[in-house]
């Protein structure tokens, strides 16, 4: 407990080494928690990264965790998991087809008909979200390559990509019928 309190004091002073220690100490624990809650390892990794982005944002707003760093981190993870689960109910199935490696001829025809709808939804994203989608899916770059180009960490790119895809799903019309 004493160790956590001293670590909390160090991150309140914006000690970069302390932030790295927090990440090293808690990432795996949060990942396993989220993976268990969501049953999706990729989403768990994305959301575990989001927890640390939330910590950085809280520090920038001068609103750090007050007494329990562990409790604060898990509360954020819990809230992110709940939001993720709610969004999954409303996710448009197109996202899997959008990122498919080799779509069938029927999928290609369907996607070509959807191109104007997808383009209209893409322009509603923020500039940064459009950029990450273009690099990841348009150019087929890896997370590391995208992070280097965008001058961001891989975790930040994952989080940005996740938000961009979630926004894209919200902007897509719900009445799209795959069977035409």
> pLDDT of 114-162, one tens digit each?
777 777 777 788 878 877 886 687 667 788 878 877 788 999 999 999 9
Cα(112)–Cα(13) distance, rounded to whole angstroms? 53
pTM of the model: 0.50
Domains, in order of start, for the chain: 2-89 (1.10.1740.10), 94-171 (1.10.10.10)
pLDDT in tens, 22-65: 999 999 988 888 887 777 889 989 999 999 999 999 998 999 88
The string of pLDDT tens digits covering residues 151-178 is 889 999 999 999 988 888 888 776 555 4
Query: Is 139 exposed, middle or buried, given 0-12, 13-18 or 19+ CB atoms closer than 10 A?
Result: exposed
Report the C-alpha gap between 178 and 180 in whole angstroms. Answer: 5
How far apart (Å, rounded) are the C-alpha atoms in residues 32 and 76?
14
């Amino acid at each position: 407990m004493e160790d956590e309190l001293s670590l909390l004091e160090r991150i309140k002073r914006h000690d970069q080494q302390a932030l790295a220690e927090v990440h090293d100490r808690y990432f795996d624990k949060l990942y396993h928690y989220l993976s268990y809650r969501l049953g999706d390892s990729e989403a768990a990794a994305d959301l575990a990264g989001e927890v640390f982005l939330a910590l950085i944002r809280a520090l920038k707003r001068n609103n750090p965790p007050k007494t329990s760093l562990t409790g604060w981190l898990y509360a954020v993870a819990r809230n992110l998991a709940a939001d993720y689960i709610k969004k999954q109910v409303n996710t448009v199935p197109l996202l899997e087809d959008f990122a498919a490696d080799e779509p069938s001829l029927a999928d290609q025809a369907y996607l070509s008909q959807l191109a104007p709808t997808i383009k209209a939804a893409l322009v509603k994203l923020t500039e940064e979200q459009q950029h990450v989608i273009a690099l990841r899916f348009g150019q087929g770059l890896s997370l590391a390559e995208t992070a280097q180009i965008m001058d961001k960490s891989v975790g930040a790119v994952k989080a940005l990509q996740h938000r961009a895809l979630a926004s894209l799903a919200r902007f897509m019309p719900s009445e799209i019928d795959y069977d035409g």
